[in-house]
Structures are given as C-alpha cells and as structure tokens.
C-alpha cells in the first residue's frame, strides 16, 4: 500500500498539519523540522496522490491556447484538434480557452498575452511570433508563474518554457533527401512552392531543403520560390505558370499549405505525373494525391499530438511532475502511399 501523509507524519514524529505545510511549501516550519519531514518522505517513498490533491484543491487546470487566425491550414487543424480535446477536457479537470489573433501581428499577439490574468490562468500555449513586445509579455507570464509552451514556431529568444513542434530546417532537409534520392542522377530543376515567405516555418524549410540539394545533389538546382498565398486558385495559377515556363523541372516541393491548388495544377497535364512531388501536411487532399501517385511523399507533423502534448506538458508543469520526453517529442513524419495511417 502506498504511504499517505498520515504515515509520513507518524514516521517524522510530527503532526499532519506540519507535513501539509512542508508539502505545500507553506511558511512557519523550522528548517530542521522540514528536514525531518523530507527525510521521512524519501524514506517511505511517499508520493502525493495527485488526483486526491486536485480533488481537495478543487483544482481546475485553466489553460489558454493562442493561435493565429486566417486560412493557414495547419493552424486550422490545430484549432480542430483543440476542439476535440475540449470535448474531453471536463474529464481531466481541464478548462481550455482558445484565443485567435491575427496572423503576423506581433502587437495583437502581445495584447492577447497581456490580457491573460495570471490569477486565474495557470498555463498558456502559444504559436509565437518573434517581437520584443511578445517577448516581454511572455516574460511577464513567467514572472507571474504562468507556465508557457511555445507551439509549432519556436520563439528562440524565450527559453523559459517548453517547445512543442518540429525542427523545420530538419523537415526541409528531409524533403530534400527524399527528393534527391527519388529523382536520381538525372539533372533538372526543382520548383519550390510556399504559402508565403512571411511564415517562419516556410523560410526554415526552404533553408534546409536548399542546404541539402546544394550540398548533395549537384545535378539539381532550385528555382526561385513560387508563392501560393494560402489560396487554392492563386496556387494553381502560380504553379501552372512555373511548370509551363520551365520545361526542365523534374521535381516540386510544396513547403506549405495550398496542396489543393497544387493538385489541380498537376492534374491538368498527364506529363506532370512524371514529376517527383513532395508536399507538407497530411490531409484528405494530400492522401488522395499520394494514393493516385500525384504526390510521392508527404511530410507531416501530427497536430493532434501537438495539442495533446502541450496540454500534458502544461499539466505536468503545474503539478510539478516529470514530462516524458519520448512521448512529447513531435516527429517529422514521412508518409508514402504505403504507410498512411
């Protein structure tokens, strides 16, 4: 049977109240007495029963998720997964509020962060944009003991919280290796498609991609990035124009959203079936494209995993328990038509 506070009190030769004061770091206990209690705790191997504690405490994990508004499909997937988690959140004494802020707007993000009341909120997960105001707002939260995880886009200047997401440079490198290996030795050009080069993710993916292509596949050259602006029609036009302009293209890397437009453009001409196409984000569209042979590989990060990880990490930080690294590390997933989940 697990030892309880009563056992600890008895073993330490103090009263239950004192054990409680030590456990909850309340004042009014001599340091020698603290030591006695802690000795008893470790001697007995006492661990606090968190569910009982939370029951007594009437604890509710009040978390806030801040994600960008707009049409970015990954953000919409995150939002959708958050809804799923919210449906089950009552079971875990967890209350999640989702705040949507305009994308690429540091000031708006900072305002959202400033609006968080550290009296009632104990954890924040945020898709961070870099800016001094944001940094200061995050620092304020940290000072006021609100735990923070940065989601998807790491804010490198803020090192006091956890990061949930992938390394996008590595994701770009992964795409490049697949591209280079799939294309083979023949020379040719590669078309790069991005939603917008304002998105940090896309910048990083491109960097990783070009690094590897340049260093390891000298037969291939990257064309300037085509911007699809997160819109199917625009993406379709842009890709179609690029493909007809450049007959030597052997491969295409879509580093962001806009798979639908890309698929439309590729479906237009049967000759394009020869192209090696690598895209990001597993969705209904990209799954079908994989099955149909239009896409050769899809790089993905699991939005559901990210949301659940963020919640688990925040809960662990609030409870003061350990996080399981293996469980919370987000993978750069590679999908071919054969290993679709």
Partner DNA sequence: TAAATTCTGAGGTACGTAAATCGAAAATTG
Partner DNA sequence: CAATTTTCGATTTACGTACCTCAGAATTTA
Q: Which residues bind DNA (CB under 7 A)?
A: 1-2, 4-6, 13-18, 20-21, 23-24, 27-30, 32-34, 46, 48-49, 52-53, 55-58
Q: How far apart are CA 68 and CA 198, in angstroms?
A: 13
Angle at 229 between CA 164 and CA 226, to 5 degrees: 100
Q: Both ends of the chain: CA-CA distance in Å?
A: 42
Q: How far apart are CA 160 and CA 142, in angstroms?
A: 7
Residues 310-329 that bind its own copies (CB under 8 A): 321-322, 324, 326-327, 329
Question: What minimum distance in Å lies between the beta carbon of 221 and its own copies?
Answer: 19
171 interacts with, out of its own copies, DNA, none, CB within 5 to 8 A per kind: its own copies
Question: What minimum distance in Å lies between the beta carbon of 196 and its own copies?
Answer: 24
Question: What minimum distance in Å lies between the beta carbon of 214 and its own copies?
Answer: 14
Q: Is 287 in the site for its own copies (CB under 8 A)?
A: no
- The packing angle between helices 232-245 and 259-267, to 10°, is 40
Choose, by CB under 8 A, the member of 212, 265, 310, 318 that binds its own copies: 212
Which residue, 6 or 245, is less far from DNA as judged by CB?
A: 6
Q: How far are the Cα atoms of 39, 112, 175, 302 from residue 280, in angstroms, in the given order?
A: 53, 29, 9, 11
CB 175 within 8 A of CB 181: no
CB 295 within 8 A of CB 320: no
Choose, by CB under 8 A, the member of 23, 34, 44, 50 that binds its own copies: 50
Q: How far are the Cα atoms of 181, 230, 341 from residue 284, in angstroms, in the given order?
A: 26, 17, 12
Residues of the shown chain interacting with its own copies in the complex, contacts defined by CB under 8 A: 2, 47, 49-52, 54-55, 84, 88, 90-91, 93, 170-171, 173-174, 176-178, 181-182, 184-185, 208, 212, 296, 302, 304-305, 308, 321-322, 324, 326-327, 329, 331-334, 336-339, 341
């Amino acid at each position: 049977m697990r030892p309880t506070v009563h056992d600890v009190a008895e073993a330490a030769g103090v009263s239950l109240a004192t054990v409680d004061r030590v456990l909850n770091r309340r004042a009014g206990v001599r340091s020698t007495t603290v030591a006695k209690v802690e000795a008893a705790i470790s001697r007995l191997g006492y661990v606090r029963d968190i569910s009982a504690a939370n029951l007594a405490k009437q604890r509710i994990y009040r978390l806030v998720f801040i994600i960008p508004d707009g049409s970015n499909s990954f953000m919409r997937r995150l939002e959708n997964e958050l809804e799923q988690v919210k449906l089950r959140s009552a079971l875990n004494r967890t209350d999640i509020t989702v705040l949507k802020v305009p994308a690429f707007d540091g000031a708006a993000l900072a305002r959202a962060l400033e609006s968080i009341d550290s009296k009632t909120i104990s954890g924040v997960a945020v898709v961070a944009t870099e800016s001094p105001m944001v940094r200061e707002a995050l620092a304020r939260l940290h000072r006021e003991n609100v735990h923070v995880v940065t989601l998807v886009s790491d804010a490198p200047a803020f090192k006091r919280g956890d990061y949930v997401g992938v390394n996008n440079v590595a994701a770009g490198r992964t795409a490049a290796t697949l591209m280079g290996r799939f294309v083979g030795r023949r020379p040719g050009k590669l078309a790069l498609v991005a939603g917008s080069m304002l998105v940090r993710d896309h910048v990083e993916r491109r960097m990783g991609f070009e690094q590897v292509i340049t260093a390891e596949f000298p037969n291939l050259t990257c064309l300037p990035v085509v911007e699809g602006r997160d819109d199917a029609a625009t993406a379709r036009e842009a890709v179609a124009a690029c493909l007809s302009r450049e007959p030597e293209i052997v491969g295409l890397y879509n580093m962001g959203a806009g798979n639908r437009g890309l698929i439309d453009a590729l479906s237009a001409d049967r000759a394009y079936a020869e192209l090696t196409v690598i895209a990001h984000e597993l969705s209904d569209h990209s799954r079908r494209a994989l099955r149909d042979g239009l896409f050769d590989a899809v790089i993905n990060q699991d939005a559901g995993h990210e949301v659940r990880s963020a919640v688990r990490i925040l809960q662990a930080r609030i409870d003061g328990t350990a996080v399981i690294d293996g469980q919370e590390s987000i993978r750069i997933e590679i999908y071919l038509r054969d290993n679709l989940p």
